[in-house]
Amino acid sequence: MLLSGCMMVGPDYQSPETSKNTQIHAAEYPETRHEQADLSRWWEVFNDPLLSDLISRAEQNNLDLKIALARVKEARATVGVTSSGLYPSVDADGSIDWGKQSENVNPLATGEQTQYTLTADAGWEIDLFGRIRRSIEAATADYQATWEDHNDIMITILAETARTYLQVRTLQAQLATSLKNIESQRSMLGLTESRYKFGLATYLDVAQATQVLANTEADLPVIRTDLAQNITSLSVLLGEPSDIIRNELQTAHPVPLPPAEVAIGIPADRIRQRPDIRNAERQLAAQTARIGVATADLYPSFSLTGTLGFASLKTSNFFDSNSGVYGIGPSFSWNIFDMGKIRQQIAVEDARTEQALHSYELTMLEAIKEVEDSLTGYHEQRIRLDALAHSVQASQETLDMSTKLYKDGLTGFQDVLDAQRSMLLAESDLDEARGNTGIQLIGLYKALAGGWSTEQADKDKL
């Protein structure tokens, strides 16, 4: 009994050195500050109350999150089941047997008899070599890994909710831009028809104006379809009927833009807190403990068993001392002829541990890549947004000037058509760039594991 807490075979887990040498090439960009920041509620940088409300509802109602939380409960219960192996097990049995023995077999048989029995059987495996304790280590690490998986799913759900919302606002802006351009093109078509009527333009001008208008009108169904699909996607993320979301988003609002400068935390510190990395590290810890579980089979297993109870042919003296039955004694088992099989199983667990280590290292590298790519993407998208804003301004001036010159008969209608096409393309690209700027920032926050609290998650796991 004293030795059962002193010996544990198999390797003791140590965190990989890779996690201590994480290096991220984080270039300094004017729109990001690499200072310590709380990213647990990163969506508030958009200053959009409806977005914050949608995020909160997704966190509460998303079904993927509820499934992940159920897995956490399952893993926590599994730890309890495994831990029970450290303690004695007691089974109570009772019976009433009525019958008669053969007098030809047993001449002393006295006819029919009724026997009353009540016993309690206890057994305790003495965990001398740590098989049960290593199993508890593995189950505990698995439980912690399911928490990290839950957190990783939560980060993804919250980021996807924000991304889909920004996509909805982007499509609404593109729809409004197309409708505005359609009105402008209709006015231009009316102008060409009037000029053709008075012999100031050819029918080619009318046909070209009609073609441009029809092409722009043909874009509307595509935009409306994408808009409807994003709204239904948002309803799935929130776990709510699409009619509720559709009514809330019926009124178009400008695409929310982040401020000119945002704090993103220190990437080298944040990267190690990503739930997917913590999940991979916990899986490695669990697999390391399973080596000890397999190694313990090389050694004998010791148990202590006992029985205590009563047996009698009469209920009147059932609890008398003469009716008592008991027995106690140690036992052991040792698979001495299966050593080859056991060593191969240890080799299996060693190989699985090696796989878990490489999986952890790969997860770390992919996380670093995601952070660096997101930083670059957000920076370049900001530059593109500024350039497109200048492009729209120049396109508007070009359209105004070409329209005036056409009315004065100083330029051909082709210049007006080219200016209209450029204006529509520039405005649509600007609307898309506004949305993509926010979406790129969302991707950056997701890469930095924004949207959850490490301290709260650690408390929840206790």
pTM: 0.86
Cα dihedral 260, 265, 268, 272 in deg (nearest 10): -130
User: Looking at residue 462, what is its pLDDT?
Assistant: 47
Q: Is the pLDDT of residue 461 over 60?
A: no
What number is the average pLDDT over the span 341-358?
A: 94
Residues 211-252 pLDDT 10s? 999 999 999 999 999 999 999 999 999 999 999 999 999 998
> Average model confidence (pLDDT) for the chain?
87
Q: Of 55-64, 210-219, 326-335, 384-393, which gets the smallest average pLDDT?
A: 326-335
Q: Which domains does the chain have, with CATH numbers?
A: 3-88+128-299+339-460 (1.20.1600.10)
User: Looking at residue 1, what is its pLDDT?
Assistant: 45
Q: Count of CB atoms within 10 A of residue 317's CB?
A: 13
What number is the average pLDDT over the span 38-49?
A: 91
- Strand 324-333 with 262-263, pairing: unpaired
Please tell me the number of Cα atoms within 13 Å of 442 on its side-chain side: 25
Residue 198, burial from CB neighbour count under 10 angstroms (0-12, 13-18, 19+): exposed
